[in-house]
């Protein structure tokens, strides 16, 4: 059986006095196998090392029942790319649910927390993507538009907002919203400055904003824009919870957040004020739609989708 991505490898460090307790928990959790105890093997922190393999669906229960190890020891989890083991196959079959449906909530919490913060890499990617979108608008190039969509990193903060709404984590929501606002402000400002210089050099003028029919979707938000954003939000959350990066690329191509920002920046530089508001509205509609549907998707996953971990809190 191909177990790529379906099996997780856990390395636990625990106080020697509680090793038996940890081992008992692992043995009690369905879907956990290949349990190995190495007494006194850990040096920093000092303690016993326990390693095991677990079906992805079992992760929530294991992490929930051993969460105290965060302070008294250590927990490390990594994905196993290849597992050639009948007992691993049996563990996957034993664990309820399907591996692709299992959401590892602790993993998701760490991921969205990291993606919610402003970093130089985030600002650089968003600025480059917005500049590409601005050039695409001026050149009426769908190829560049697609490239800008794929390059944009804005779904990370959007997913963080969705998770924050699900868990009631208002500081996370505030941080992610600030990351979105600052990121787009910086990206639009840089693109505006570049476009302004281009107008001074005589490289572009108002005629460059005459978009063809295929490009009008950027500046003409309508009910379909919101529907696409809703669908993209669902697909985006499913892709990050199931670890399907190829699906997430499809989400980036579906929504016009970055193209709208690029168009707004160029329109500002050219003084086309009537073009700015529709672009800003398109950007808002896309983000709002993704937040609404992304949050709803997480709620459905938490409440209805079968998975081990019902005894652990989300």
Percent of the chain scoring above 70 in pLDDT: 87
Does the pLDDT at position 177 exceed 90? yes
| Interval 118-144 mean pLDDT | 91
In a domain, 298, yes or no: yes
Does the pLDDT at position 115 exceed 80? yes
3-state secondary structure of 203: coil
In a domain, 197, yes or no: yes
In a domain, 297, yes or no: yes
Of the pLDDT bands very low, low, confident and very high (cuts 50, 70, 90), residue 141 is confident
- Assess whether 116 and 167 both reside in one domain: yes
- Assess whether 299 and 240 both reside in one domain: yes
The CATH number given to whatever domain includes residue 32 is 3.30.70.120
Q: Last residue of some domain: 102, 130, 146?
A: 102
Does the pLDDT at position 42 exceed 90? yes
Does the pLDDT at position 210 exceed 80? no
In a domain, 24, yes or no: yes
Residues 6+ positions from 36 with CB-CB distance below 8 Å: 50, 51, 52
- Assess whether 98 and 121 both reside in one domain: no
- Assess whether 234 and 299 both reside in one domain: yes
Closest of 215, 223, 224, 211 to residue 272, by C-alpha: 211
How many whole angstroms separate alpha carbon 257 and alpha carbon 279?
A: 9
Mean pLDDT of the chain: 85
**pLDDT tens for each residue of 263-280:** 999 999 998 888 888 888
pLDDT for 311 equals 46
3-state secondary structure 73-100: CEEEEEEECCCCCHHHHHHHHHCCCCHH
| Interval 91-114 mean pLDDT | 79
pLDDT for 254 equals 58
pLDDT for 98 equals 65
pLDDT for 253 equals 59
- Assess whether 47 and 95 both reside in one domain: yes
pLDDT for 186 equals 97
Cβ neighbourhood burial of 77 (10 Å; 0-12, 13-18, 19+): middle
Say which DSSP state 101 is in.
G
In a domain, 310, yes or no: no
The CATH number given to whatever domain includes residue 260 is 1.20.1080
Domain count, the chain: 2
- Assess whether 78 and 227 both reside in one domain: no
User: b/e per residue, 89-115, with b = 16+ CB within 10 A?
Assistant: bebbebbebebeebbbbbbbbebbbeb
- Assess whether 253 and 144 both reside in one domain: yes
pLDDT for 19 equals 95
Tell me phi and psi for residue 243, to 5 degrees: 70, 30
- Assess whether 60 and 117 both reside in one domain: no
pLDDT for 3 equals 53
- Assess whether 79 and 189 both reside in one domain: no
In a domain, 314, yes or no: no
Q: Last residue of some domain: 74, 102, 130?
A: 102
In a domain, 42, yes or no: yes
Report residue 35 as tokens.
């349990």
Q: Last residue of some domain: 33, 67, 102?
A: 102
- Assess whether 170 and 246 both reside in one domain: yes
| Interval 94-111 mean pLDDT | 78
Does the pLDDT at position 309 exceed 50? no
In a domain, 34, yes or no: yes
Domain region containing 233 = 108-303
Which of 177-181, 226-230, 255-259, 261-265 has the lowest average pLDDT? 255-259
- Assess whether 29 and 140 both reside in one domain: no
- Assess whether 96 and 134 both reside in one domain: no
């Amino acid at each position: 059986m191909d177990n790529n991505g379906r099996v997780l490898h856990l390395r636990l460090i625990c106080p020697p006095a509680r090793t038996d307790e940890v081992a008992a928990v692992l043995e009690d959790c369905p879907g956990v196998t290949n349990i190995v105890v190495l007494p006194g093997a850990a040096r920093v922190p000092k303690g016993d090392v326990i390693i095991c393999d677990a079906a992805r669906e079992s992760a929530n229960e294991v992490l929930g029942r051993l969460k105290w190890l965060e302070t008294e020891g250590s927990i490390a989890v990594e994905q196993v790319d290849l597992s050639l083991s009948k007992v691993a196959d049996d563990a996957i079959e034993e664990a309820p649910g399907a591996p692709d449906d299992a959401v590892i909530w602790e993993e998701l919490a760490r991921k969205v927390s990291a993606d919610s913060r402003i970093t130089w890499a985030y600002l650089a990617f968003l600025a480059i993507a917005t500049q590409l979108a601005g050039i695409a608008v001026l050149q009426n190039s769908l190829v560049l538009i697609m490239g800008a969509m794929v390059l944009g990193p804005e779904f990370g903060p959007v997913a963080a907002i969705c998770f924050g709404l699900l868990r009631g984590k208002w500081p996370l929501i505030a941080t992610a919203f600030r990351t979105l606002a600052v990121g787009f402000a910086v990206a639009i400002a840089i693109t505006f400055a570049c476009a302004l210089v281009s107008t001074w050099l005589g490289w572009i003028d108002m005629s460059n904003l005459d978009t063809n029919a295929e490009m009008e979707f950027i500046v003409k938000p309508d009910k379909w824009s919101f529907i696409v954003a809703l669908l993209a939000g669902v697909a985006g959350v499913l892709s990050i919870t199931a670890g399907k990066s190829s699906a997430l690329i499809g989400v980036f191509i579906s929504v016009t957040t970055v193209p709208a920002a690029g168009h707004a920046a160029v329109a500002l530089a050219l003084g086309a004020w009537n073009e700015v508001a529709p672009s800003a509205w398109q950007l808002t509609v896309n983000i709002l739609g993704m937040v609404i549907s992304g949050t709803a998707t997480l709620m459905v996953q938490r409440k209805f989708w079968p998975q081990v971990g019902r005894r652990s809190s989300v």
